[in-house]
Amino acid sequence: MADKELIIYTDGSSRGNPGPGGYGAILRWGTVEKELSGGFRKTTNNRMELMAVIAALEELKKENLKVVIYSDSQYVVKAYMEGWLKNWMRTGFKGGKKNRDLWTRFDALSKKHQLKFVWVKGHADNPYNNRCDELATSAADERNLPADTGYEMQAE
């Protein structure tokens, strides 16, 4: 049981980019599944892709889990797997790198687990990724969405 992996599928969406946005995630531990979603009134697709991962990791009660995250966002996958995030953190996000607030939040969460990212083609034949897309777009379409203060402060 100790070697069991937690599987997470994620997706993010933004209507207009920037515009209303949402994220969706599915956490799978054996036969147990949990769906998560949320939205914001004005944000970007990259922020929602990353927010999906953050929301999923924030759900985890235990630490030092083996976690495999499936995402169709090359931005998120490459930032972690190819070391972009380490460089951004080391240089203090110099050069105007965006989404510092979310990347800093993700970085703290990533240190609690053994993470592996797998890129999946979006809108393809993966039913879990497709369901995450449904969750994300539905969340983006909700009324009275809260502010993505990190984005709105960054955009000013």
Which residues are catalytically annotated?
A: 11-12, 49, 72, 123, 133
* CA dihedral angle for residue 30, residue 4, residue 110, residue 90, rounded to 10 degrees: -140
Q: List b or e across 13-31, with b for residues whose CB sees 16 or more CB atoms inside 10 angstroms.
A: bbbeebebbbbbbbbbeee
Residue 4 per-residue DSSP state: P
